[in-house]
Amino acid sequence: MEVKIGVQFAARELVLESAQSSQDVEKAVATALSTENGVLTLEDEKGRRIVVPANKLAYVEIAADAAQRRVGFTS
């Protein structure tokens, strides 16, 4: 699934493809935000870790799972 992270005072957003479920990503965000001096740590499909201080998060967009996306011109 695709996860987009907006960081305060950064011109570009962070985009990563994660093998984690949307519920796992949402839980990680909630945990980071609920902890004083929390840190959001996510891992992409290639095993790289993305670490962002929770107090610098502007938004986190969690896209639908890849299996649910449509491809093509049919409706």
Average pLDDT over all residues of the chain: 89
Which domain range does residue 61 map to? Answer: 2-65
What whole-number distance in Å separates Cα of residue 44 and Cα of residue 15?
A: 10
Domain annotation covers residue 71? no
CATH number at residue 58: 2.30.30
Domain count, the chain: 1
Domain annotation covers residue 72? no
Domain annotation covers residue 73? no
Per-residue pLDDT of the chain (75 residues; tens, 9 = 90+): 899 999 999 999 999 999 889 999 999 999 999 999 999 999 999 999 999 999 999 999 998 765 555 666 765
Please state, in angstroms and as integers, the Cα–Cα distance from residue 2 to each residue in 17, 21, 36, following that order.
5, 10, 27
Give the per-residue pLDDT at 65. 61
Domain annotation covers residue 74? no
Q: What is the pLDDT of residues 1-20, one digit of tens each?
A: 899 999 999 999 999 999 88
